[in-house]
Amino acid sequence: MNNGETKHIELPITGMTCAACANRIERNLNKLPGVEAAVNFANEKAHINYDTSLVDMPKLIHAVEKSGFQIAPQWVQLQLQNVTCAACAGHIEKALTKLPGVTAQVNVATETAKVSFVPGLVSLTDLIDVVEKAGYGANEMTEFTHSAEKARRSAAYQAELRLFWISAVLTLPLVLQMGAMFVGHHDMDVLPRWLQWLLATPVQFWIGKRFYLGAWHALRSGGANMDVLVALGTSMAYFFSAVVTVFSFDQHVYFEASAAIITLVLLGKLMEARAKSRTSEVIEALIRLQPKTARVERNGEVVKILANTLQINDIFIVRSGESIPVDGVVIEGASSVNESMLTGESLPVSKQTNDQVFAATLNQQGLLKCRATSVGADTQLAAIIRLVEEAQGSKAPIQRMADTVSGYFVPVVVGISVLTLMITWLLAGNFVLALVNSIAVLVIACPCALGLATPTAIMVGTGRGVQAGVLVRNAAALERAEKIQIIVIDKTGTLTEGKPVVTDVLPIGAISANDLLQIVASLEQGSEHPLARAILDSAHQAQFSLLPIQDFCAVVGSGVKARIHDLGYMLGSPKFLLQQGAAIDEGKIATLQAEGKTVIGVAYTAEHDTRVLGYVAIADRLRDTSIEAVKKLRSMNIDVVMLTGDNALTAHAVAKRIGLVIFVLRCRHKIKPQKSRN
């Protein structure tokens, strides 16, 4: 009877060069009883479900190492508490290093521990538990983890780059030797053969050592990969040339071929590593959005702490101009928050009591006191980062087919190479010609493209998508995109420019349009709200000077009040003016709103009199390319749906202008048909 527990782990693996490597590790892991494993070449991780009663972690790690690969050690930095002296540091170091595969360095001054551990053998929870059992406190400093991984990859890339340049310098004279053939000197050695041999040897056995090691591990575990082809093909060319050189045979040598192949393969690996590094920068940019510190209430006092130490239900305070550290809910205060990094909406969102706020969004006005509801890996920002990582590492259906083909490709190519040797030798009677043709089959047919092209394309494609504001859930979704029948498009910032501009200035009574705009701009001076910026830009273009204001008071989410030349004014939405006792022209307002415009009214306030002076209409202009883009999508038989949080009149006006058949009001959660499609 099996009473074991099924566990899931992720093991980071180094040394994989193609999909065949991943397949080899999968086979060796799945040979173990009670193990289900899937290895992702793109993100260099093995996802393993195993039965603890049948297999343990050392056996899993041994299976990976038997395949010729290593479990990448991870670095983590722990923030320590209650560390007062060197003895404390020594005590913590001793406790940590007792764990298998763990090394640690404790800094008393900074109260931090830099720890290296092997995932699978030890977890982050194990590290923290050991520190706590020793009598101290600890938590993860996540930023260091990402920076350490970046440093590791950067160091590996620089090492690869140095090897490539050494290989290129040694190979260049050999390539010049090859160039002599193109000008008709087939039988003339530009370089002495012993010199060619001397140049090719370090490239073959020092620079190319990795291919021999990779081939050995692959063959030992019963598989074959790209390394087998490279090692076999270049070795045949090298040793054939060496024999010709030693015995002074009247045959051409192929030292340049073996060296050039190794150099070009290294160049390909460098390009792959660079593509991966640029893609990882997208994730790093997302991580940098989260603020490093937060203000919290502790024992009735406001103190500044590290944002990653916030706990659920902690009360934190966000001032105007600061980013929100974690997800939470407003318990006190009112403000406007820029959530464009999450939603793409350029206009800020009003926040009041019981409204949700999200990590990395920007508080633009007012003071907010919030209660933390999601921290660390549970925030919306962390979810986006996870989504990008999963998308980059996921396998598309076409990639699974490529992985399968890659697994059979190498032995088939080796078989074709042997047949080429035998048939050419039999038909032409020239062993040298047959051998050269056989080598050509081996070195040209490297299956790296099969294993690298799809995952690299997915990584780079999803990374570029994030930079453009497009999140792809996984590789399968990316591949299915060609079958899209309906596309849902956000209005603000996508169909429109996301930059409001003044379209109408409508005075009432004796006041002129210029005077009205001057008063409105003066009331909005100093505001960073997008609608205010639109008004100020319009006044600047008209070269109006702003009037001095007194007793300025902002009513968050509604409008402002102030005095100009000792006269009272109020500015805001029609609803705000109505609440203040002003008589608004609902017909004129409805007409402007039906055109998709936002209406702001300004009113004069006297002792017992509130009189509307006029209205300013503001609209978000359509992008020049939006109408054409919608037409093109519809010509591809794709229905386009506009998603908007605006009111129905605005949504209907924009949809009509752009030629959309349907739109969705986010607040109502239902599709509004306009007319039947022709």
Cα dist from 149 to 15, 145, 302, 674, whole Å = 15, 6, 34, 53
In sequence order, what are the residues at sequence separation of 6 or more whose Cβ sits closer than 8 angstroms to the Cβ of residue 158? none
DSSP secondary structure string for all residues of 512-560:
-HHHHHHHHHHHHTT---HHHHHHHHHHHHTTPPPPP-EEEEEETTTEE
Q: What angle is formed at CA 413 by the lines to CA 410 and CA 417, rounded to 5 degrees?
A: 140
Contact 114/104 with Cβ under 8 angstroms? yes
Rounded CA separation 439/365 (Å): 71
Contact 489/641 with Cβ under 8 angstroms? yes
Joined together, the tokens standing for residue 67 give 């395949």
Joined together, the tokens standing for residue 127 give 């590290």
Contact 53/33 with Cβ under 8 angstroms? no
Q: Of the residues 314, 403, 490, 646, which is catalytic?
A: 490
Joined together, the tokens standing for residue 87 give 């003895």
β-partners of residue 652 are: none
Residue 435 three-state SS: helix
DSSP secondary structure string for all residues of 611-635:
EEEEEEEEEEEEPTTHHHHHHHHHH
Nearest C-alpha neighbor of 88 from the set 122, 124, 123, 138: 138
381: exposed, middle or buried (Cβ count in 10 Å: 0-12, 13-18, 19+): buried
Residue 365 three-state SS: coil
Rounded CA separation 177/174 (Å): 5
Q: Which amino acid is at 384?
A: I
Rounded CA separation 511/517 (Å): 10
Q: Which amino acid is at 30?
A: N
State the number of CA atoms in the 13 A half-sphere of 17 facing the CB. Answer: 24
Instruction: Please report where in the chains the tokens 């997800």 appear, as a residue.
Output: 327
Rounded CA separation 161/228 (Å): 23
In 323-468, which ranges are E strands?
327-332, 335-338, 349-351, 356-357, 362-363, 368-374
Residue 112 three-state SS: strand
| DSSP assignment letter at 85 | S
- 490 given a catalytic annotation: yes
Residue 189 three-state SS: coil
* Catalytic positions: 490
